Structure 1
Amino acid sequence: MSISNSNKRVKRRARTVSIAVVLAAGIAVIAGCSSQPKTEGAAETAANANQVAAKTVKVAEIAKIQIAEPLEQVADVLASAQVHIVAKAGADVQQIMKKRGETVKAGDVIVALDDTDALLQQEQSLLSRESAALSLETGRKQWESNLAKMELALSEATKNYNKMKNDYDAGLVGKSELNQAETAYTTAKSDLALLKETGVAGLEMQLKASQLSVVLSERALANYEIKAPISGVLSELTVQEGMTISPGFAIGEILQIDPIKVKTLLSAQAANAARGKTQLQFYVPGSSSMYTGKVTYFADVVDTQTNAYELNLSIANPDKALKPGMKVQVRLTEAAEEQVVAIPTLSIVREGADSYVFVLNGDKAEKRKVELGRLNELNQEIISGVKAGEKLIVSGQHQLSDGEQVNVAN
């Protein structure tokens, strides 16, 4: 009885284990079938996401900035003209009319010389002219009288010659008498022609020569007043009253400072910046006044000695505020000229010797080659390749390729 019951319990346990094994196997099969499609779908979704995902970038609008301060060059203030005053006559200095440092005008008398000898020469030339005029008047009257006499003599000689020809034809006179009458006629005619030809030409020439002497004496007399050849400041005066000077002696110097001249020497780069301008501004360091000068000379060829291009400006200086010897700063460019298209230097992608940037075009990154200009701290001037107003990619550009789709970060 106990054995039978024990066998029955063993059989029941075996069936229970078999059923559990079968159920476990079925559950595993079902679970495997249901999990396989889910794993494949997740992988496919991830792959698609990788294909459409775009890189996130940051952009900034390209603008113009002042890349540098206006270009300036130091210059010298000079007299626009520097003229030596030279005596044209030799004499004693009689009077000094102007002082050194005075402002003079062209034509002002600076020094008066003793003109006694010059006055005597002028008086002599005036007398010679009067004498020549009188001689001409007398000579013309004499010539007119001689002319009348010769015309009368020719008339008589003509009548006599004609009468002799008639008498010779009639046999009343001989050949010798006819020849004498013909000679008298020919001589009278020749003398009259010569008198008319010469007239009073010699006396007229004498009068012209005496008139020219008067003019020369007047010019010589004018040289005894030494006058300022130009307007300006009498910067030098080297004579004293009573001093004897000779022709060609330099008595002083005049500096013309209205207008005044500004001169500077430019490097090739600075010359290119100012080339083509007709006016330039300049100022005296430490002063708030700004002047505008007219370009009067700009060398086209570099000076081999200074290796620079000379530039000259001219400006009116009525108040004499600008003086020779001063230094000024000439502005070769204005602030507006320094406003250029510039971008952050970190946005530039460098490939060998070439430089590129990425510009946002729609939702894509467009690769552009750019030409670089001046550098100002963190900004780089762009000469060509982009323009103001375009959207520049400033972050993430090093991982981009041309035409790649991007997302713009907020």
Structure 2
Amino acid sequence: MDTRIPRKNKKKQYIALAFIGIFSLVGLGAYMITRPKTLKVNKQELLIKAVKMDSFEDFVIFQAQVEPLHSMLVNIVEGGAVQELFVENGAIVTAGMPIARLYNPNTEFNYLSQETAIIEQMNQLNVSKLTIRNQELEMNKELVLIDHDYNNSKLEYDLNEKLYNKKILAKNEWEATEEKLRYQKERKAIIQESLKREQQANSVQVNQINQSLATMERSLEALRENKKNFLVLAPVSGRLSSFEANLGETVVAGTSIGKVDVLKGYKLTAMVDEFYLDKINTGQNGQIEVKGKVTQIQVTKILPEVKNGQFKIELQFIEKQPEGLQEGLSFGVKLILSGKEQKLVIPKGSFNSASQGKWIFVVNGNSAERRIIELGRENPYYYEVISGLKENEQIIVSNYDDYKNVEKLEF
């Protein structure tokens, strides 16, 4: 009889092998993930510089243009077509000198209509004032006649009184004389009172008419002055610039057809990158080079409105202005933001466009490793190092566009 031999259970062995395989794969994956990403590069293609202690001066360089210190726009008050040009662009003009003449038939007709209407109103007021004076004159004439009648009655009364006292004049005639004098006396008093009140009322009315006439006179004068606005005059003395009006061209009221530059000095204006908006302040000094000589300048005005990533500043000369300055000339300005200090610095390079100043490759023998850093201020030549680097360390400052996801470079 055969003996039955039990089979060995290999299920546990398979499970153990499976776990070992899984752990191996996980470990390998973790190693692949956590190990530094390395890239081999040609060292000759890299730009390597040293970290160093150096005199750091925070400044910015930009281009500035020469402009007159003061200018005044030539504005159009009354719009119209350019009928005449008396000067050309660049001419020297004096205040009040004719520059151009405009013509607008519609506005001219409106002026004539308004002028006629004002003159008619003034004539009507003058007629009213004359009528009032004539009324006063008539009342004065009437008062003279009444006064004459009163005086005659008074003479008659005085004479009849004597006759009546001597018993020559009858009583009824004396009573008639008394009544006549009483009537003339009351009549004179009434007319005098009426004339007084009429004169008071007329005085108020005449004053109102005179005020209205004065207002109309001013309106008429202003209207006639406005008619002169078709003749464009130089607002100040100086050089006419940006004057590009053409014969027959229609110019709208309120627009400018040029400017007059007052020839009493120059200033510099510049458009500066918005990055420096919080760093530039009025009173900061700078310098330009004119014909080989350094000239000191100072920021006098900042216009904080940002357009196309830039804002405008104005600078003036601290000392005597250089000779030979002309509008439109351009100079490189070095504007000092802070004084010289000994700082740890690295040279500027294209690496910053990829790393944004947050990391850099530090050379170590035949390789370079990525390191977190912090940069501070900058000037056209250097970045100030806040942390992450030491003096004399070698760094790569060339372009990092191909190394954004690389942790280590091998040469």
TM bin, normalised by shorter chain, reads 0.3 to 0.5
Question: Normalising by structure 2, what TM-score?
Answer: 0.45
Question: Normalising by structure 1, what TM-score?
Answer: 0.45
Larger Rg: 1
